[in-house]
A and B are shown apart, each in its own frame.
Chain A
Amino acid sequence: MDIQLKRGILDVCVLSVLVRGDSYGYQIVKQMSPRVPITESTLYPILKRLEAAGCLSVYSVEHNGRLRKFYSITDAGRKKIEEFIENWQDVMSAYQFIEEGWKAL
């Protein structure tokens, strides 16, 4: 998949995990992987990018003698999901256009 398209989709996928409830890195990977395969190395820059954009916030919780970072979605993050869903029809329209052109060959 095109890198830019993949980045945009994965960002929203991560937010949609968090909209169901606060989560941590490994749990996000586990929740996404059955539907959208992802590794920690792909997830890390996504979380940093979303935090820098104000789409999620981070807090630490003590767990078994160590600190575990939890991620929580913000209003900006929810808005990003809404915009993705609204714009998806345009993407589908473009996909159908491309597919028709390809099949016409």
Chain B
Amino acid sequence: MDELTSRLRAHGLIEEEISCSAEYYAEAIDDRMEDGTDEESAVAALGDLDEIVRQILIDLPLGSFIKSKFRQQKEKSRSASRFTLVMTILGAPLWIPLLITAVAVILSVYVSILAVIISLFATVIALITSSAISIPVAGLVISETVPGAIGILGAALLLMGIGILMILPAKLAAKGLWKITLWFTRQLRKPFIPKQRIRKDTI
């Protein structure tokens, strides 16, 4: 347990997260020992310590993960050379605008996709609402002009049909964007997760 907590601390996790994890694994060991296993076997049954640490890190919420990495980097960078520090500051006029540009481009693409999806949903709502309103209007004008009323009714039904057909693509587009968001957040943290050792998978 000391080894687990010190590894988690080295990765910059906050004490609350470390104690939560330690409590869980301590309970797992106690339960196995109550079941008749000796302590050594109970600890071994939990699996490889690197894998335990990896699983804890990979499922941290993104905010907590980023904070832990900053904390970890803060510990390491205490011994950073002055030269590196000076070069970073001198190079700031170059890399800061580039970084801002890159983030802005990514965000603008994301927002554009989001805007398209919102427009799709707005179109669906507009089509269905306008056709729902047009049907009673057709009923009102039928006494004055039958062809006109039939025309209005036909157009209303057509718009409603198009609106209903558009629901599925809009839903799929929203789901797709959500998956892209999740994938992107995973990619952001991937360089910082220890590589998984090759082992026999359980499923």
- The answer to whether A binds B is yes
A66 at interface, CB cutoff 8 A: yes
Please count how many residues in chain B sit with their CB below 8 Å of the partner chain's CB atoms: 25
A19 at interface, CB cutoff 8 A: no
Which B residues are in CB contact (< 8 Å) with A24?
27, 31
Main SS of the interface on chain B?
helix
Which B residues are in CB contact (< 8 Å) with A25?
24, 27-28, 31
* Distance A20 CA – B6 CA, assembled complex (angstroms): 37
Distance in angstroms from A59 CB to nearest chain B CB is: 14
Pair B203/A1 contact, Cβ less than 8 Å = yes
A48 and B59 contact, Cβ closer than 8 Å, known pairs A24-B31, A66-B30: yes
A87 at interface, CB cutoff 8 A: no
Q: Contact partner of B59 among A1, A39, A40, A49, CB < 8 A?
A: A49
List which B90-113 residues lie within 8 A (CB) of chain A. none
B15 at interface, CB cutoff 8 A: no
Pair A41/B55 contact, Cβ less than 8 Å = yes
Q: Map CB proximity to B onto A32-53 as digits: 1 under 8 Å, 0 otherwise.
A: 0000111111101101110010
Pair A26/B32 contact, Cβ less than 8 Å = yes
List which A39-90 residues lie within 8 A (CB) of chain B. 39-42, 44-45, 47-49, 52, 64, 66, 68-69
Pair B24/A44 contact, Cβ less than 8 Å = yes
Which B residues are in CB contact (< 8 Å) with A42?
55, 202
* Distance A44 CA – B59 CA, assembled complex (angstroms): 10
Please count how many residues in chain A sit with their CB below 8 Å of the partner chain's CB atoms: 26
* Distance A27 CA – B46 CA, assembled complex (angstroms): 14
Closest to A25 in B: B28
A103 at interface, CB cutoff 8 A: no
Interface positions of B (Cβ within 8 A of A): 21, 23-25, 27-28, 30-32, 34-35, 45-48, 51-52, 55-56, 58-59, 61, 201-203
Pairs of residues from A and B, 7 with the lowest C-beta to C-beta distance, nearest first: A26-B31, A45-B59, A37-B202, A41-B52, A40-B28, A41-B47, A1-B203
| Interface CB pairs A-B, < 8 A, 27 | A6-B203, A9-B203, A24-B31, A25-B31, A26-B28, A26-B35, A29-B28, A36-B203, A37-B203, A39-B45, A39-B46, A39-B47, A40-B28, A40-B46, A41-B52, A42-B55, A44-B21, A44-B24, A44-B52, A44-B56, A45-B55, A45-B58, A47-B24, A49-B59, A52-B61, A66-B30, A68-B27
